[in-house]
């Protein structure tokens, strides 16, 4: 145990540790449960995709949920058996709601899949990380963050220290203590894996000074392994086992809420995480079990190696809960929660189950008004002003709570612990945080709905316009076609009287080409001035016919109002025609130029009647 300078974090409290009860007996293996329910979502990040179906036979250690993305970790069958259900099952969560689980009925054989040890040193680091992810290695201190994602040093800041967290500051919990006492060698091997991935300058193992046996065992194992890790005794002060607090104590660095610890050249892993990392790589065993302290109001407090997915009530029964037990606390008494559903399964985050009884945890005294004594602020390890946040959280003024940095709060419970007015401060903060998250979700959904609504409106608008345009075009085309037909008819009727010869080619021509001028190029082929004249005349006739022909077509079944409208338009048009005529007389343009202009009128007209 090296002598080194330690730092202090502000605040902190010293609750009675209550650890002695559960360290007297060595770790025992919990018997195979009657059923295991493995929640798919056990770590921060994406929910693993289920790989099995109802009725499938699975082997111990078989992957049953595959990591969904990089920040995610696989889950595995804790024992061999048959999949009974893939669906909703009670969650180890304060809400008591259901969550996606794979429920397996053990066959009692506990048969392993083929386990493969890997020599991780021979593999590229990328592959080691993938392996850790697929073995389901996550932070077992309680945060359950996928460990492989924490083994990447920052690009710009060199890794200085790797902090290994064996502080275990929460009262009652002793699973890390026992792990270090009994399996120190493997913990050290696991630490070496993280060391090799991160390449820090030094490795510091922080252990609270109320666990001298664990510290001695670790120091021994470090020496035996020939490593240069430093085992450091840190003062017992809750929450010294918080990652940020331990980093502060050992390195003097304060990792702010908005930064990753690797950005400050430091990273932190729990001892149990290191142990599972070694079991995963060195033995090919995925994370399917963990150490759980059974303590509190029980006859025989002890640490057990427990399969993930074991129902909590079944597990606690092993330790012999006393008759006045009225609940199970998962985790420690400072940060844990009362499990609303006793059959909820043990998950990777379950480090301790405490049998709750009114004698052990007396009901809370009624909440009194805050007297602004400041005790909470003095106790807060994150140097927040809990009474200010409380004030605003109580008034549901969430914006203000954020101004007072509510998201820096780690919910350690120190403030509630010391408050003389017995205010459940942390619950106010949890309430405020989840309200803020919900509001952000709602806001995002509302914004999305708004953009989609606006887009839809815009699209509808555009579609309407396009439709109108299309309609107008179609109508115009139709009108022109009809005009052409009419003209052709007029030509074939009227032309023989004036010009007989060109009538024949013209009769076919306008059928294909709607406009009059198209007929003009045909006439030079006849090479006759008369023909040309005839063509012009025909075009004029067509135009005239068009005018006379189309009108009756559009005035079928008109309402009086429409007729009135049509009459108005006709009157206007007649006036325009007068103007056009006088202008045309003066203009040099050939008379045929009036032809293309003609279809516009009926098109206009048809629109009017359609409306």
Partner 1 sequence: MEFSTSPYLLKDTSVRRVMTQVLLALVPGIIAYVLLIGPGILAQLAIATLTALAAEAAMLRLRDKPLALFLGDGSAVVTAWLVALTFPPVAPWWLTVVGVLFAIIIAKHLYGGLGQNPFNPAMIAFAVCIVSFPALMSQWPGAGSHLAPGQQFDWIFGLTPRLDGMTSATPLDALKTALRADEGHSGPLPFLAGNAQAVIALCYLAGGLFLVWRKVITWHIPTAFLGAMGLLAGLLWLWQPAGFANPVFHLLGGGAMLGAFFIATDPVSGATTPRGKLIFAAGVGLLAYIIRVFGGYPDGIAFAVLIMNICVPLIDMTTQPKVFGMKDQ
Partner 2 sequence: MLIAIAIMALGAVVLGAALGFASVKFKVEGDPLVDKIEAILPQTQCGQCGYPGCKPYAEAIAKGEADINLCPPGGAEGVGKLADLLGREAKPLDGVEKPPQVALIDENTCIGCTLCIQACPVDAIVGAAKQMHTIVESLCTGCELCLPPCPVECITMEPIQETVDTWKWKYPVVELKRVA
Residue ranges binding partner 1 (CB under 8 A)? 9-10, 13, 15-16, 94, 171, 244, 248, 254-257, 259, 326-327, 329, 331-338, 356, 361, 363-366, 368-375, 377-378, 381-385, 387, 404-405, 408, 413, 416-422, 424, 426-427, 430
Closer CB to ligand SF4, 112 or 337, in the complex: 337
Q: Which two tokens stand for residue 22?
A: 């559960």
- 3-state secondary structure labels for all residues of 483-528: HHHHHHHHHHHHHHHHCCCCHHHHHHHHHHCCCHHHHCCHHHHHCC
Query: What contacts 582, CB < 8 A, 6 or more positions away?
Result: none
Closer CB to ligand SF4, 97 or 257, in the complex: 257
9 binds, among partner 1, ligand SF4, partner 2, none (CB under 5 to 8 A by kind): partner 1
Pure H helices in 226-258: 243-251
Partners of 302 in the β-ladder = 294
Residue corresponding to tokens 């929640």? 39
Q: Is 395 in the site for partner 2 (CB under 8 A)?
A: no
Q: How far is the CB of 424 from partner 2 (least distance, A)?
A: 5
Pairwise CA distance, residues 353 & 375, whole Å: 30
Pairwise CA distance, residues 202 & 157, whole Å: 15
Closer CB to partner 2, 93 or 400, in the complex: 93
Assign 184 to helix, strand or coil. Answer: helix
Q: How far is the CB of 53 from partner 2 (least distance, A)?
A: 22
Sheet holding 49-50, edge to edge: 49-50, 63-66, 75-76
CA-based end-to-end distance of the chain: 94
Give the residue among 98, 84, 73 at the shortest CA–CA distance from 344: 98
Q: Which two tokens stand for residue 545?
A: 């016919």
Pairwise CA distance, residues 368 & 423, whole Å: 7
386 binds, among partner 2, partner 1, ligand SF4, none (CB under 5 to 8 A by kind): ligand SF4
- Show contacts with partner 2 in window 345-374 (CB under 8 A): 366-368
- Show contacts with partner 2 in window 129-158 (CB under 8 A): none
Q: How far is the CB of 287 from partner 2 (least distance, A)?
A: 21
Q: How far is the CB of 407 from partner 1 (least distance, A)?
A: 10
Q: Read off φ and ψ for residue 581, nearest 5 degrees.
A: -60, -50
Give the residue among 111, 237, 220 at the shortest CA–CA distance from 170: 237
Q: Is 70 in the site for partner 2 (CB under 8 A)?
A: no
171 binds, among ligand SF4, partner 1, partner 2, none (CB under 5 to 8 A by kind): partner 1
Pairwise CA distance, residues 130 & 137, whole Å: 10
User: Which residue among 201, 373, 455, 508 contacts partner 2 (CB under 8 A)?
Assistant: 455
Give the residue among 63, 51, 46 at the shortest CA–CA distance from 135: 63
Q: Which two tokens stand for residue 379?
A: 């106790």
Q: Which two tokens stand for residue 439?
A: 């509001």
Q: How far is the CB of 450 from partner 2 (least distance, A)?
A: 4
Q: How far is the CB of 457 from ligand SF4 (least distance, A)?
A: 13
> Which residues bind to ligand SF4, rule: CB under 6 A?
370-376, 379-382, 384, 386-387, 390, 409-415, 418-421, 423, 425-426, 429
Pairwise CA distance, residues 445 & 98, whole Å: 24
> Angle between the 594-610 and 529-554 helix axes, to the nearest 10 degrees?
10
Closer CB to ligand SF4, 50 or 386, in the complex: 386
User: Which residue among 2, 448, 496, 524 contacts partner 2 (CB under 8 A)?
Assistant: 448
Pairwise CA distance, residues 476 & 115, whole Å: 78
Region binding partner 2 by CB under 8 A among candidate stretches 305-313, 446-454, 499-507, 578-586: 446-454
Closer CB to ligand SF4, 188 or 409, in the complex: 409
H or E stretch at 66: strand 63-66
Closer CB to ligand SF4, 420 or 590, in the complex: 420
Q: How far is the CB of 162 from partner 2 (least distance, A)?
A: 32
User: Which residue among 257, 371, 373, 449 contacts partner 2 (CB under 8 A)?
Assistant: 449
Assign 102 to helix, strand or coil. Answer: strand
Pairwise CA distance, residues 239 & 245, whole Å: 7
Give the residue among 266, 137, 151 at the shortest CA–CA distance from 203: 266
- Show contacts with partner 2 in window 8-67 (CB under 8 A): 41
- Show contacts with partner 2 in window 401-430 (CB under 8 A): 424, 427-428, 430
Closer CB to partner 2, 446 or 468, in the complex: 446
Q: How far is the CB of 453 from ligand SF4 (least distance, A)?
A: 9
Q: How far is the CB of 509 from ligand SF4 (least distance, A)?
A: 55
405 binds, among partner 2, ligand SF4, partner 1, none (CB under 5 to 8 A by kind): partner 1
Q: Is 400 in the site for partner 2 (CB under 8 A)?
A: no
Pairwise CA distance, residues 174 & 164, whole Å: 16
Q: How far is the CB of 8 from partner 1 (least distance, A)?
A: 12
Q: How far is the CB of 452 from ligand SF4 (least distance, A)?
A: 9
CB atoms within 10 A of CB 413: 24
Binding footprint of partner 2 on the chain (CB under 8 A): 41, 91, 93-95, 97-99, 366-368, 424, 427-428, 430-431, 433-435, 438, 441-442, 445-450, 452-453, 455-457
């Amino acid at each position: 145990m090296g002598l080194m300078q330690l730092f202090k974090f502000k605040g902190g409290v010293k609750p009675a540790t209550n650890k002695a009860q559960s360290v007297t007996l060595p770790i025992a293996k919990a018997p195979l449960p009657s059923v295991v329910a493995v929640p798919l979502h056990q770590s921060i990040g994406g929910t693993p995709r289920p790989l099995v179906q109802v009725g499938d036979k699975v082997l111990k250690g078989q992957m049953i949920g595959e990591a969904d993305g990089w920040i995610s970790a696989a889950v595995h069958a804790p024992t061999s058996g048959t999949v009974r259900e893939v669906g909703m099952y009670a969650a180890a969560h304060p809400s008591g709601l259901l969550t996606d689980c794979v429920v397996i009925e053990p066959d009692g054989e506990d048969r392993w899949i083929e386990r493969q040890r890997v020599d991780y040193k021979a593999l590229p680091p990328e592959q080691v990380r993938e392996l850790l992810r697929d073995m389901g290695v996550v932070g077992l201190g309680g945060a359950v963050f996928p460990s492989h994602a924490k083994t990447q040093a920052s690009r710009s800041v060199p890794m200085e220290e790797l902090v290994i967290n064996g502080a275990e500051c929460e009262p009652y919990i002793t699973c890390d203590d026992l792990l270090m006492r009994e399996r120190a060698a493997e913990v050290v091997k696991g630490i070496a894996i993280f060391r090799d991935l991160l390449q820090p300058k030094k490795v510091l193992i922080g252990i609270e000074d109320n666990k001298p046996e664990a510290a001695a065992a670790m120091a021994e194992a470090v020496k035996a392994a020939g490593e240069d890790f430093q085992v450091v005794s840190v003062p017992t002060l809750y929450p010294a086992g918080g990652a940020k607090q331990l980093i502060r104590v050992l390195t003097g660095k304060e990792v702010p809420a908005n930064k990753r610890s690797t950005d400050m050249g430091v990273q932190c892993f729990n001892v149990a995480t290191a142990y599972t990392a070694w079991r995963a790589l060195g033995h090919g065993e995925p994370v399917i079990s963990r150490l759980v302290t059974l303590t509190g109001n029980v006859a025989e407090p002890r640490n057990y190696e427990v399969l993930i997915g074991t129902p909590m009530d079944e597990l606690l029964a092993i330790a012999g809960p006393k008759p006045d037990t009225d609940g199970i606390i998962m985790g420690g008494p400072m940060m844990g929660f009362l499990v609303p559903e006793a059959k909820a399964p043990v998950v990777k985050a379950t480090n301790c189950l405490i049998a709750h009884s009114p004698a052990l945890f007396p009901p809370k005294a009624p909440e009194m008004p805050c007297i602004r004594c400041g005790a909470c602020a003095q106790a807060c390890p994150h140097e927040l002003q809990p009474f200010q946040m409380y004030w605003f959280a109580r008034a549901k003024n969430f914006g203000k709570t954020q101004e007072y940095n509510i998201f820096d709060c780690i919910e350690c419970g120190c403030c509630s612990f010391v408050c003389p007015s017995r205010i459940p401060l942390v619950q106010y903060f949890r309430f405020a945080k989840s309200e803020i998250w919900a509001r952000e979700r709602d806001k995002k959904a509302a914004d999305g709905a708004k953009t989609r609504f606006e887009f839809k409106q815009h699209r509808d608008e555009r579609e309407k316009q396009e439709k109108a345009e299309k309609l107008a075009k179609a109508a115009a085309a139709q009108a022109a076609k009809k005009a052409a037909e009419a003209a052709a008819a007029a030509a074939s009727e009227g032309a023989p009287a004036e010009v007989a010869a060109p009538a024949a080619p013209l009769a076919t021509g306008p059928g294909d080409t709607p406009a009059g001028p198209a007929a003009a190029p045909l006439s030079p082929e006849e090479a006759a001035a008369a023909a040309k004249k005839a063509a012009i005349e025909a075009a004029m006739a067509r135009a005239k016919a068009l005018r006379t022909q189309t009108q009756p077509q559009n005035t079928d079944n008109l309402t009086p109002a429409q007729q009135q409208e049509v009459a108005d338009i006709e009157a206007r048009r007649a006036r325009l025609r007068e103007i056009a005529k006088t202008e045309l007389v003066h203009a040099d343009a050939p008379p045929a130029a009036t032809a293309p202009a003609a279809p516009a009128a009926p098109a206009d007209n048809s629109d009017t009647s359609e409306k």
